[in-house]
Amino acid sequence: MKIAHLDLECSNLNADWGVIICGCIKWDNGKSKGKLESFRMTDYDQKDMMDDSGVCMAMRDALDTADMWVSWYGAKFDIPYLQARLLNHGEKTASTLTPHVDLWRTSRYQLKVSSNRLANVQRFFKLKASKTPIDQGVWFKAIAGHSPSMNEVVKHCKEDVKMLEEMYHIFLPLIKGHPNIELFKEKPVDDPTCPKCGSSHLWRHGYKVTKTRKYQKWHCQNCGSVSSNRSSEVVQQPPLTA
């Protein structure tokens, strides 16, 4: 499974007022660390210094090769921002069918922390990568083509996607709506495997019980996720008494 941990750095919080300065993608197949790609608006032919069409299309083309996207608040910011900028340039949008895991939602609804900002969560979990402070003036210098400023913005973006990769593997047991990675394999195995990480190192973990059925639960010893069988066992109902 090809996972894209993504982040954008923009000149304004709204796509009709700003542009995409750069974007980064940290590739991850769930087992080994992949390469980190960066896309700068100044790397492409520009009509003027506010033309971000090149970086938008490069990010779209890269993301369209992914099986799943991972972001922090990306469902509300990064992806809608990219789609808006692409449409503004008369270009096709990134795929709307790619599964998207927004780790901000996991933090917001599965954890109780004082703030769901990435910097706060990074400090709490003591991640190796960290948020790099950046002066507001650097953003405008980067847009104007100032190479050292652009390098600083890209470095900031790279640290964000490194944090995303770390957070993804920490949050994995709590992520809701994660696609079943077994479905991305050409030849799915017959034995039970973890739907989130693909490990076959599973322990029986009791049953998920409804009113009429029960489902075997499995605890993954690799990522810590708990899953259950698709097929159920019928529970015999005791006879009713008056």
Q: What is the pLDDT of residues 21-60, one digit of tens each?
A: 999 999 998 665 689 999 999 999 888 888 999 999 999 9
Please indicate, yes or no, whether the overall pTM of this predicted structure exceeds 0.75. Answer: yes
Q: How far is the C-alpha of 226 from the C-alpha of 239, rounded, in Å?
A: 33
> How much of the chain, in percent, has pLDDT values that exceed 90?
62
| Position 235 confidence tier, pLDDT thresholds 50, 70, 90 | low
Is a pLDDT exceeding 90 seen at residue 176?
yes
- Name the least confident of 84-98, 101-115, 159-173, 177-191: 177-191
- Name the least confident of 162-166, 177-181, 235-239: 235-239
Q: What is the pLDDT of residues 54-79, one digit of tens each?
A: 999 999 999 999 999 999 999 999 99
pLDDT at 242: 47
Residue with tokens 């640290």: 159
Residue with tokens 């017959």: 190
pLDDT at 110: 96
> How much of the chain, in percent, has pLDDT values that exceed 70?
93
Q: Domains of the chain (ranges plus CATH)? A: 3-174 (3.30.420.10), 181-234 (no CATH)
The helix-helix angle for 78-88 and 53-63 (nearest 10°) equals 120
**What does DSSP assign to residue 196?**
T
pLDDT at 185: 77
Is a pLDDT exceeding 90 seen at residue 131?
no
Residues 211, 228 contacting (CB under 8 angstroms): no
Tokens encoding 184 = 């991305």
Residue with tokens 């506010």: 50
Beta strand 33-40 with 68-71 is: unpaired
Residues 40, 30 contacting (CB under 8 angstroms): no
What is the DSSP secondary-structure string of 6-24? EEEEESSSSTTT--EEEEE
pLDDT at 132: 79
